[in-house]
Amino acid sequence: MALGRTHDFANLTLLPLCLYYTPKEFYIPLTLGYLFGSFFLSPDLDLPQSKPSKRWRKLRFVWKPYQKISKHRGLSHFPILGTALRLSYLLFVFLFAYFVLLGISSRYIPSLEALLLSLDPFSFLSQMARKEETFYFALGVVLSEVFHILLDILSAYLKRFKIL
């Protein structure tokens, strides 16, 4: 298995290749998704002591339930499915926090309740899902995951045959 630094270096090195095949108007969303996927939404989030887990700093606790239910190199290391699971998990956490805040504010802070109700996360998500930029952001996350997994496979192969 490759180390965190190796994954970071390899992913950054392969980003220009991804941009070469991307329309210029989508460079920014693809790059942002790719960097977010490489550094914060890596398949290694299922390990509590991994670099991506540590990068969440004070928000690291958000990933504790995910780490309890996810086995390392399990579904999190399946291309596309792993990304979908991590993005869905993050969406679930966001919506859970939104509704908890909404419940608390309705009882104790009515002005915050009005603000939260005006935000409407479902409308926001619906609008985002229709944008091409969102597709390229998600594609960037998936590409970073695919390169991560390929590096894991290559590293295991080289170690197995004592080439590395």
Given a cut of 80, is residue 162 above it in pLDDT?
no
Give the C-alpha separation, 14 to 82, whole Å: 20
List pLDDT tens digits, range 115-132: 999 999 999 999 999 999
Q: Note the pLDDT of residue 21.
A: 96
Q: Note the pLDDT of residue 5.
A: 77
Given a cut of 60, is residue 159 above it in pLDDT?
yes
> Under a CB-based contact definition with an 8 Å cutoff, are residues 106 and 47 in contact?
no
> Under a CB-based contact definition with an 8 Å cutoff, are residues 162 and 8 in contact?
no
The gap from C-alpha 62 to its chain's centroid, in whole angstroms, comes to: 13
Given a cut of 60, is residue 63 above it in pLDDT?
yes
Mean of the pLDDT values across residues 14-40? Answer: 97
Give the C-alpha separation, 124 to 142, whole Å: 22
Structural element, H or E, at residue 87: helix 81-108
Could you give the percent of the chain with pLDDT greater than 70?
A: 96
Give the C-alpha separation, 76 to 70, whole Å: 7
Question: Where residue 41 falls among pLDDT bands split at 50, 70, 90?
Answer: very high
> What is the per-residue DSSP string for 29-42?
HHHHHHHHHHHTS-
